[in-house]
Amino acid sequence: MIRDPKRNPNYVRIFDTTLRDGEQSPGATMTSSEKLQIARALARMGVDVIEAGFPAASPDDLEAVRRIAIEVGNPSSRNGGHVPIIAGLARATKEDIDKAWEAVRHATYPRIHTFLATSPIHMKYKLRMTPQEVVQRVRDMVAYAKSLCEDVEFSPEDAGRSDPEFLYEVLAVAIEAGATTINIPDTVGYTTPWQFYDLIKGIMENVPGIENVVVSVHCHNDLGLATANTLAGLMAGARQAEVTINGIGERAGNTALEEVVMALWVRRDFFGLETGIDTTQIVKTSRLVSRITGMPVQPNKAIVGANAFAHEAGIHQDGMLKHHQTYEIMRPETVGWPQSKLVLGKHSGRHALRVRLEELGYKLSREELDDVFQRFKRLADRKKSITDADLIALVSEERSISPEEELFQLEALQVIAGTGMPTATVRLRGPDDEEYTATAMGTGPVDAAFKAIDNIVGVPTVLIEYVVNAVTEGIDAVGEVTVRLEPRIEETGETASPQTGRVRRRAFGGYGADTDIIKASAKAYLTALNKVVAALRREV
């Protein structure tokens, strides 16, 4: 497959910004090893461009982008053989562009993505610049980026509310100065599909030099129209779609990768366009992102929600049994949902586990397999049959804990619930290899367990989200818990948002899975708390 829209006019580049715009979701902060894990999954899925971050935001952000450029932006079997372009975002200033270049230059295919607002409201109130000053800055900064990097993307921020004639002028200048991709953002999710189609069409027809660059679309979901707008932009001639996994991103989020890719795939008869995405990796990557960010996927979310392929009504079930196409427009396996239900049990060995995990698309290292096997055995003692969904939860849990951040480990947990005073006793092993025990009372057993953990770790946090999900049916179902915590200390955990320059708080996610929901909660809480402690230590 030729992955270049200039040589293959029906090819749509998938530009994933989960690690940049997605990370701007309130509370979706990721550590640099988590970002690396996601970047690897994106490369394996076949994403063309990974926007790895905003290097000027902080030294940590720069370092994360640099690591991704080195480890994912170069040939490596760990990333599945495909080498994506690695992009770094920069405001239209020399300092930002220098930092972006410092971070991405290690990749085989580096890209600098610079942006400047062009709507009247942004120019007047945010930038305090005249339109002519904006044009001049675009000329200078795109040329400066080009002097460092061959591949330069330019975005006129808030294009959706900009004057089209002014946009044509700015874009022509950016192309003349060396931009190779022109990205049109609907920054505040304001446009409608018809308007956005006209906007892109107008750009295709009126901007000198537009035929020499790739036109891209970047839509936000404030009115729930991001996917529709993106598809309208592609129909008008854009050949790069900027998306995030699960649609995470600023405010109501960005266009969801899985929606655009599957719309183009299922309705290829209508669009006549193709992408380089391995669709069978979609569900796995969605779960990885959900687990790492601590942002659960709503059950009715298209493609990746737990109910996306569930048929409840009798008439539907009857139809499905007669022919699956009666109520199904794509097969669940196409997007990576496991097909078989019952797989392994108490007597299954390591080999069977490894083979089944490989069938599900998980290639584990020896150490990871050892650990998952231990967890599998413990689960099989309590649960008669282990389903694919159980296995995925086990691997998810294993991968949610990065060794360098597993400072405190849960050794034992005992709770007394009921109508009296719910009480929990926990025993943790600390970073000094000592055992610590604490008991606390709470409003319920989960609250008591969290308080007992807090008594040992001693780092004040605020619990901003706690979500419980059953991944399998039945009384012995495995429950998944995700939590998000924010450090309580005012001065820590703040970074600048690239778009608004506003200060943003950092939150840390944790994930736990167990047949015992209180234990799953304690594991998830401890994982998140360990991340807070690790971040505070790094800052010190």
* Min dist. Cβ of residue 159 to Zn ion (A): 11
Instruction: Count the residues of the shown chain that bind ligand KIV, applying the rule CB under 6 A.
Output: 10
Q: Assign 3-class secondary structure to 17-29.
A: CCCCCHHHCCCCC
Min dist CB 251 to Zn ion, Å, is 10
157 binds, among Zn ion, ligand KIV, none (CB under 5 to 8 A by kind): ligand KIV
For the packed helices 59-71 and 32-45, what is the interaxial angle rounded to 10 degrees?
40
Nearer to Zn ion, 186 or 371 (CB): 186
Q: Is 501 left (phi over 0), alpha (psi -120 to 50) or beta?
A: left
Q: Which residue type occupies 288? A: L
Q: Which of 11, 115, 450, 511 binds ligand KIV (CB under 6 A)?
A: 115
Nearer to ligand KIV, 89 or 344 (CB): 89
Q: For residue 472, is it left (φ>0), alpha (ψ between -120 and 50) or beta?
A: beta
The answer for residues whose C-beta is within 8 angstroms of residue 342's C-beta and 6 or more apart is 385, 387
State in angstroms the smallest separation of the CB of 375 from ligand KIV.
Answer: 39
Decide if residue 482 touches ligand KIV (CB under 6 A): no
Q: Is 152 strand, coil or helix?
A: strand
Residues lying near Zn ion in the complex (CB under 5 A) are found at: 21
Minimum CB distance to ligand KIV, residue 111 (Å): 13
Would you tell me how many other CB atoms lie within 10 Å of the CB of residue 26?
Answer: 14
Is the distance from CB of 105 to CB of 94 less than 8 angstroms? Answer: no
C-beta of 63 vs 222, nearer to ligand KIV: 222
486 forms part of the interface with ligand KIV (CB under 6 A): no
Identify what 155 binds: Zn ion, ligand KIV, none; CB under 5 to 8 Å per kind: ligand KIV
Q: Is 185 in the site for ligand KIV (CB under 6 A)?
A: yes
Q: Which is nearer to ligand KIV, 161 or 311 (CB)?
A: 161
**Nearer Cβ to ligand KIV (110/479):** 110
- What's the one-letter identity of residue 305? G
Which listed residue (13, 19, 21, 231) binds ligand KIV by CB under 6 A? Answer: 21
Q: Least distance (Å) from Zn ion to the CB of residue 185?
A: 6
Residue 187 in contact with ligand KIV, rule: CB under 6 A: yes
What x-and-dash track marks residues 71-90 binding ligand KIV by CB under 6 A? --------------------
Tell the smallest beta-carbon distance from residue 51 to ligand KIV (Å): 9
Smallest separation, CB 382 to Zn ion (Å): 45
Sequence-distant (≥ 6) Cβ neighbours of residue 38 within 8 angstroms: 18, 19, 30, 245, 285, 288, 289, 292
Least Å from the CB of residue 211 to ligand KIV: 22
**Counting contacts by CB under 6 A, is residue 155 touching ligand KIV?**
yes
Q: What Cα–Cα distance (Å) separates residue 349 from each residue in 344, 353, 373?
A: 9, 6, 8
CB of 413 closer than 8 Å to CB of 522: yes
- Beta carbons of 396 and 364 less than 8 angstroms apart: no
Residue of 74, 66, 153, 170 lying closest to 119 (CA atoms): 170
In the complex, which residues of this chain contact ligand KIV (CB under 6 A)? Answer: 21, 115, 155, 157, 183, 185, 187, 218, 220, 499
